């Protein structure tokens, strides 16, 4: 049974009355009559057309939907008489029909001067088109995340032992342990009237049929709750670009484990959060009371500054959904997956959620890749989110950056949204693309597909303004950690800071350099910086774009080296070895096939034996001399060895062997004089 907390706020009429379609700052003084609560009672033809234009603009601004309140206007107390309310509703329905909108009554409530009615205006979309809202599901392990999604999407209650979550798991070990370890995706469809269209057939959901019947689709991003899967959770929050975050809390366990970590992550990425308290059917009232008090204290803390609102009826749902994105309000739902208590309120709230981003389809396209596949009979497939612009079938687009920071042209072979084939994708939508003539091995997570008009460039280094949330000691230059920026997930090293050291709570400008590959970034992107228990968040403020095509030379000339590059540079300066290769060198060996560090190949010993033959023969015959005393002494020492294979070698044979070595190994035999050729000391093998 849901337990209310007296100190928690509940939605008030003042909050609801603050939401009006006709805000005074959007109208000029000549249209003051349209802001009146009587505007829809008996409008003239000119006022009717003006109202239609205003409603059309607001629906487009809301990405296809808007909530309109009848009975609230400027300069008058809220409420209308019954006859005036009926006339206003008739006018609104007429305008909605002319604009191709569905008009659904959400609630009618009593106000000071009469009744106030609220309607949902939703655009009627084509069969292959729908609005999409992405909701990231976060919370501590065993909070009931996967179980709740199984109940919502399949429409069947749980048995108390986790049968509902078995339908969502992707791996066998997840079914055995009952814990999610990968990013899962599930959908919940609503038709134009707000009814759920999910109807499982033999326990499985037909995504294509759901999308065809839906006017709005909620995509749940099921993330892991265990601490060891934190990197997967961070990638899901940054790479999948969620519109909202649903924080799950078990009523019996309370605010424990990773709950605060996930809340901090959502707040750092500016993702609106609402809370769902589960397992209320098995929780004693006193434990529930303690959990709600602790939750309230956490939401009101200085780092969060939210207004907790307990949702108990449909009026609360409409009020919180209307003011959720614009206010600091944080709705709290108390549900049970076994009894189904308050699940209807949660579904109604999800139906009323509207996207908080404004996407411009006129801008050049930019698509971030968060996963890759190889489908038999189709080829290489990439999935992700279109951040801006428009991509159509058979478009030519740029894919990259690769390990050299280059972008290559590719052609879109087919497009799917939620497993349904479509001809185009607009900004803010997730999709999968089948690409022509490209291998999956050449694509990785973090790459982007952009329009050629954008003229993309990759960068090795970038500057960000970060806030250190937690670090056990201090952070200084050359500190390395994992950086998450959008779908990019790569280790980066700090090469400079505005402060000498950073501690917990410090804020500074930091310059990073990627270790492995250059990446495509934009300024103002949110970033997460983590390594072990170290966590920092921030924003990308400046990019340092690469100017040349040879990234290996660019990395070698930089003053900041990785561990292998620094050791290679030192040996090169000492004249005792070769310069270390850059991390992004295309010729580097595969780690699986690499020999141990102290193991030398048979080729090395063969060459060493041949060099010994040349040196000892030259020393005994006197036809070849070295210009270095150290090399001469080495050759003399080697000549004392009794090797039967070289005892009969002549000076002519030694010269022939030296010539063969020169042509095979490409060694530099320079002569100190025409009559006495000399072998540099660096070419004489060391014992």
User: Given pLDDT bands bounded at 50, 70 and 90, which one contains residue 613?
Assistant: very low
Q: What is the pLDDT of residue 28?
A: 44
User: Do the beta carbons of residue 518 and residue 548 sit within 8 Å?
Assistant: no
Measured over all CA atoms, what is the biggest interatomic distance in the chain, rounded to whole angstroms? 123
Task: State how far the Cα of 107 lies from the Cα of 548, in Å rounded to an integer.
Answer: 62
Residue 4's contacts (CB-CB under 8 Å, 6 or more residues apart) are 310, 312
User: Do the beta carbons of residue 625 and residue 676 sit within 8 Å?
Assistant: yes
Q: May I ask the CATH architecture of the domain 459-552? A: Beta Barrel (2.40)
Task: State how far the Cα of 397 lies from the Cα of 413, in Å rounded to an integer.
Answer: 11
Q: Which fold has domain 131-352?
A: Rossmann fold (3.40.50)
| Helical ranges in 492-628 per DSSP H | 551-557, 563-574, 602-621
CATH class, range 13-123? alpha beta
Fold agreement between 366-453 and 459-552: yes
Is pLDDT larger for residue 610 or for residue 333?
333
Average pLDDT score over residue span 125-139? 88
Q: What is the pLDDT of residue 34?
A: 65
Instruction: Give 365's Cβ-side CA count (13 Å radius).
Output: 21
pLDDT at 25 over 90: no
Q: Is 309 helix (H, G, I), strand (E, B) or coil?
A: strand
- Single pTM value for the model: 0.74
| Averaged pLDDT of the chain | 78
Q: What is the pLDDT of residue 184?
A: 79
Is pLDDT larger for residue 541 or for residue 681?
541
pLDDT at 573 over 50: no
pLDDT at 576 over 60: no
Least confident piece of the model among 2-11, 81-90, 514-523: 2-11
Length of the chain: 687
Task: State how far the Cα of 271 lies from the Cα of 384, in Å rounded to an integer.
Answer: 19
Element spanning 652, H or E: helix 651-665
In whole angstroms, how large is the CA radius of gyration of the chain?
A: 34
Q: What is the pLDDT of residue 201?
A: 76
Q: What is the pLDDT of residue 438?
A: 92
DSSP string, 68-133: EEES--TTS-S-B-HHHHHHHHHHHHHHHHHTTEEEEEEEEEE-SSSEEEEEEEEE---TT--EEE
Average pLDDT score over residue span 548-567? 41
Strands 244-250 and 131-139: parallel
User: Given pLDDT bands bounded at 50, 70 and 90, which one contains residue 49?
Assistant: very high
Is pLDDT larger for residue 504 or for residue 639?
504
How many other C-beta atoms are found inside a 10 Å radius of the C-beta of residue 563? 11
Q: How many helices (H) and strands (E) does the chain have?
A: 16, 25
pLDDT at 87 over 90: yes
pLDDT at 135 over 90: yes
Q: Of the candidates 1, 599, 532, 314, which has an alpha carbon nearest to the alpha carbon of residue 322?
A: 314
Q: What is the pLDDT of residue 32?
A: 54
User: Do the beta carbons of residue 630 and residue 638 sit within 8 Å?
Assistant: no
Least confident piece of the model among 39-48, 172-181, 674-683: 674-683
Phi and psi (nearest 5°) for 60? -65, -35
pLDDT at 211 over 80: yes
Q: Which two tokens stand for residue 61?
A: 């601004």
Superfamily (CATH) of domain 366-453: Translation factors (2.40.30.10)
Q: What is the pLDDT of residue 406?
A: 94
Task: State how far the Cα of 477 lies from the Cα of 470, in Å rounded to an integer.
Answer: 17
Q: What is the pLDDT of residue 62?
A: 82
| Helical ranges in 197-313 per DSSP H | 207-213, 230-239, 259-268, 285-299
User: Given pLDDT bands bounded at 50, 70 and 90, which one contains residue 4?
Assistant: very low
Domain ranges of the chain: 13-123, 131-352, 366-453, 459-552, 609-636+649-683
Q: What is the pLDDT of residue 632?
A: 43
User: Do the beta carbons of residue 248 and residue 148 sit within 8 Å?
Assistant: yes
Is pLDDT larger for residue 62 or for residue 286?
286
Q: Which two tokens stand for residue 218?
A: 């909620």
Phi and psi (nearest 5°) for 187? -125, 150
Is pLDDT larger for residue 142 or for residue 667?
142
pLDDT at 21 over 60: no
Q: What is the pLDDT of residue 653?
A: 46
pLDDT at 175 over 50: yes
């Amino acid at each position: 049974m849901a337990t209310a907390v007296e100190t928690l706020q509940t939605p008030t009429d003042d909050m609801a009355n603050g939401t009006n379609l006709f805000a005074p700052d959007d109208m000029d003084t000549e249209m003051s009559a349209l802001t009146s609560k009587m505007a829809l009672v008996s409008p003239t033809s000119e006022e009717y057309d003006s109202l239609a234009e205003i409603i059309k603009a607001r629906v487009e601004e809301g990405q296809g939907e808007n909530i309109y309140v009848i009975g609230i206007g400027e300069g008058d107390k809220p409420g209308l008489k019954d006859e005036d309310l009926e006339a206003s509703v008739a006018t609104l329905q007429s305008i909605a029909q002319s604009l191709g909108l569905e008009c659904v009554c959400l609630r009618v409530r009593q106000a000071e001067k009469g009744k106030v009615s609220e309607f949902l205006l939703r655009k009627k979309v084509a069969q292959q088109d729908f609005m999409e809202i992405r909701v990231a599901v976060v919370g501590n392990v065993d909070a009931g995340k996967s179980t709740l999604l199984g109940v919502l999407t399949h429409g069947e209650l749980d048995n108390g032992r986790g049968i509902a979550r078995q339908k969502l798991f992707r791996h066998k070990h997840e079914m055995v342990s009952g814990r999610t370890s990968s990013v899962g995706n599930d959908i919940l469809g609503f038709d134009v009237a707000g009814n759920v269209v999910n109807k499982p057939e033999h326990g499985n959901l037909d995504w294509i049929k759901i999308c065809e019947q839906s006017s709005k689709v909620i995509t749940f991003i099921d993330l892991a709750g265990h601490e060891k899967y934190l990197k997967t959770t961070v990638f899901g929050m940054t790479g999948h670009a969620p519109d909202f975050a649903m924080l799950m809390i078990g009523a019996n366990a309370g605010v424990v484990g990773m709950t605060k970590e996930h809340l901090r992550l959502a707040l750092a990425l500016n993702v609106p959060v609402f809370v769902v308290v589960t397992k209320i059917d098995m929780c004693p009232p006193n434990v529930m009371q303690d959990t709600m008090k602790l939750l309230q204290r956490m939401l009101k803390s200085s780092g969060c500054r939210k207004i907790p609102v307990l949702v108990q009826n449909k009026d609360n749902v409409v009020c919180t959904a209307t003011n959720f994105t614009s206010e600091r309000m944080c709705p709290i739902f108390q549900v049970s997956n076994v009894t189904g208590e308050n699940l209807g309120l949660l579904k109604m709230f999800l139906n009323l959620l509207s996207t908080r981003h404004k996407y411009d389809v006129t801008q050049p396209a930019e698509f971030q890749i968060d996963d890759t596949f190889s489908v038999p009979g189709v080829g290489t497939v990439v999935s992700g989110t279109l951040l801006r612009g428009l991509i159509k079938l058979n478009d030519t687009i740029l894919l990259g950056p690769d390990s050299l920071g280059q972008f290559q042209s590719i052609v879109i072979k087919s497009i799917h949204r939620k497993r349904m084939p479509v001809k185009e994708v607009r900004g803010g939508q997730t999709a999968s693309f089948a690409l022509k003539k490209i291998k999956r091995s050449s694509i990785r997570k973090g790459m982007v597909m952009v329009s050629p008009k954008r003229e993309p460039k990759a960068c090795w280094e970038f500057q960000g303004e970060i806030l250190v949330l937690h670090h056990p000691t201090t952070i200084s230059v050359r500190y390395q950690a994992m950086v998450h920026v959008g779908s990019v997930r790569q280790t980066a090293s700090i090469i400079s800071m505005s402060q000498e050291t950073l501690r917990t709570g410090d804020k500074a400008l930091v310059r990073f350099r990627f270790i492995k590959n250059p990446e495509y970034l934009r300024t103002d992107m949110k970033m997460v910086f983590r390594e072990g228990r170290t966590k920092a968040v921030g924003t990308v403020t400046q990019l340092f774009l690469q100017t040349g095509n040879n990234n290996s030379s660019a990395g070698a000339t930089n003053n900041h080296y990785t561990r292998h590059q620094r050791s290679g540079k030192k040996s090169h300066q000492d004249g005792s070895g070769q310069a270390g290769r850059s991390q992004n060198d295309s010729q580097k060996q595969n780690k699986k096939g690499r020999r141990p560090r102290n193991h030398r190949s048979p080729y090395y010993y063969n060459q060493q034996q041949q060099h010994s033959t040349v040196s000892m023969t030259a020393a005994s015959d006197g036809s070849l001399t070295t210009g270095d005393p150290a090399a001469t002494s080495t050759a003399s020492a080697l000549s004392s060895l009794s090797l039967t294979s070289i005892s009969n070698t002549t000076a002519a044979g030694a010269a022939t062997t030296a010539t063969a070595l020169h042509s095979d190994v490409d060694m530099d035999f320079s002569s100190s004089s025409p009559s006495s050729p000399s072998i540099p000391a660096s070419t004489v093998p060391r014992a």
